[in-house]
Amino acid sequence: MCGNTMSVPLLTDAATVSGAERETAAVIFLHGLGDTGHSWADALSTIRLPHVKYICPHAPRIPVTLNMKMVMPSWFDLMGLSPDAPEDEAGIKKAAENIKALIEHEMKNGIPANRIVLGGFSQGGALSLYTALTCPHPLAGIVALSCWLPLHRAFPQAANGSAKDLTILQCHGELDPMVPVRFGALTAEKLRSVVTPARVQFKTYPGVMHSSCPQVSEQGCAPPP
Active site amino acids: 122, 176, 210
Give the span between the Cα atoms of 34 and 184, in whole angstroms.
21
Give the span between the Cα atoms of 216 and 163, in whole angstroms.
23
CA distances from 166 to 53, 163, 191 (A): 21, 5, 10
Burial class for 36, CB neighbours closer than 10 Å (0-12, 13-18, 19+): middle
Give the span between the Cα atoms of 172 and 218, in whole angstroms.
15
Give the span between the Cα atoms of 19 and 57, in whole angstroms.
17
Give the span between the Cα atoms of 185 and 159, in whole angstroms.
19
